[in-house]
Structure 1
């Protein structure tokens, strides 16, 4: 299939086939459109996500290869396992979505310009209110010290970003998410693009075709209605 950069029609939510995405930059599929909940849900349902910086047009991506973490193979090394046994963190789901996304946008370790611009934050707040965007929070002494957020369509969870302000807090959030999904027979977390941190936690790269197959299976998997209700989560160590 030939690679062609597409411009989205503001009067249609349709996206081009992900196989039209460019090889360079890897995965760039389309420009334009908007960040309405309907368009975002359509994008994620097709394995496409927005990623752009301030003063740029909205860019839509479907990279090849794709990074995922198999929930059965998330990596807990000896150091992390020892930490988990003595940690005093509390873990919650959907207690502080807006604070998590704000912290992710301003994470001190992020040296490059953030892609979580104000319009993106507003858009994901809307998705959260509709029950399609969720957060995992890590607390210490009532202070939010780590977390992550992402988009879920049935059993398909696409992670967007994470942050930490205390040792291993983002790892704890990721492990909690993995165990939550695994407990409902969900086999993977979509990580979009790999990086050293994700690789250290067990992320692997698979082809776009294999990812789409797994994504389609996950989307067809219904989860119990209470999975994303605000509540405390507990790790199995």
Structure 2
């Protein structure tokens, strides 16, 4: 990938089913990945454990959307226990920043006061959302962010949540691994849908954040 590669070029890659990765944070090379097996999280059968549902209902965090996109990406790129390196290098960080400015990349953030304690970011294209990375600095913060993301996607009419690779962390939510041809079929169907990553409105009105109970209700009604 050369310096002339733009955010619009990256969107075209997603539409073909490939995504970028780097070998290390300080390595400026970027590779396009098209794995034989793909991790996806089915929205209609998204699973939330009883413990996690109780946690979400307690609203341990204030969940915000797109208020600190660059900070979320930066924190996702930091080293963490069990992960000394990251695939998010500076060219990738720059491209996603551009996608965010264009309205195609979004962050879901878990705050406590002025402290950002967890979140995730990804790319929205038609009826598909491509989850890129998540981080957590407090117990369950990234999980709460994921649950609120799923509620938003269901409300917006999305049909595909791409997790890229299957992990034990995602398997608890019902994630599954599918073949490349099956992924291409699901992607084609998603690109024919006009998903809307709109701001959700809670029971208290547009000025209030969606509560955990309201997010759970959206997910339950979709299953």
TM-score range, shorter chain: 0.7 to 0.9
Q: What corresponds to 2:6 in structure 1?
A: 36
Q: What corresponds to 2:40 in structure 1?
A: 68
Q: What corresponds to 2:203 in structure 1?
A: none
Q: Is residue 211 of structure 2 the alignment partner of residue 234 of structure 1?
A: yes
Shift of 1:107: 4.8
Q: CA RMSD in A?
A: 2.2
- Decide whether the 8 Å contact of 2:30 with 2:92 is kept in 1: no
Q: What corresponds to 2:116 in structure 1?
A: 144
Q: What corresponds to 2:131 in structure 1?
A: 159
Structure 2 distance, partners of 1:216, 1:158, is: 14
Structure 2 distance, partners of 1:200, 1:79, is: 12
Shift of 1:204: 0.3
Secondary structure (helix, strand or coil) at the match of 1:82 reads helix
- 2:52 alignment partner, one of 80, 99, 110: 80
Secondary structure (helix, strand or coil) at the match of 1:174 reads helix
Structure 2 distance, partners of 1:225, 1:181, is: 7
Secondary structure (helix, strand or coil) at the match of 1:63 reads coil
Shift of 1:213: 1.2
- Decide whether the 8 Å contact of 2:128 with 2:191 is kept in 1: yes
Q: Is residue 170 of structure 2 the alignment partner of residue 219 of structure 1?
A: no
- Summarize the Cα distance change of 1:110–1:234 in structure 2 as closer, same or farther, 3 Å threshold: farther
Secondary structure (helix, strand or coil) at the match of 2:75 reads helix
Shift of 1:62: 1.1
Gaps of 5+ in 1: 1-31
Structure 2 distance, partners of 1:172, 1:166, is: 11
- 2:103 alignment partner, one of 128, 131, 145: 131
Q: What corresponds to 1:195 in structure 2?
A: 167
In the TM superposition, structure 1's runs of 4+ consecutive aligned residues that sit over 4 Å from their partners are none
- Decide whether the 8 Å contact of 2:22 with 2:87 is kept in 1: yes
Q: What corresponds to 1:99 in structure 2?
A: 71
Structure 2 distance, partners of 1:73, 1:84, is: 18
Structure 1 distance, partners of 2:198, 2:11, is: 20
Deviation sequence 1:19-57 (CA, Å, 0-9, x none): xxxxxxxxxxxxx34541121011011110011124363
Higher relative contact order (CA 8 A, sep 6+): 2
Q: Is residue 148 of structure 2 the alignment partner of residue 171 of structure 1?
A: no
- Summarize the Cα distance change of 1:185–1:223 in structure 2 as closer, same or farther, 3 Å threshold: closer
Q: Is residue 20 of structure 2 the alignment partner of residue 50 of structure 1?
A: yes
Deviation sequence 1:173-208 (CA, Å, 0-9, x none): 111111111123323310011111111222101111
- Decide whether the 8 Å contact of 1:97 with 1:134 is kept in 2: yes
Gaps of 5+ in 2: 201-206, 217-223
Deviation sequence 1:44-90 (CA, Å, 0-9, x none): 11110011124363211111211100112222112212222323311
- Decide whether the 8 Å contact of 1:176 with 1:234 is kept in 2: no
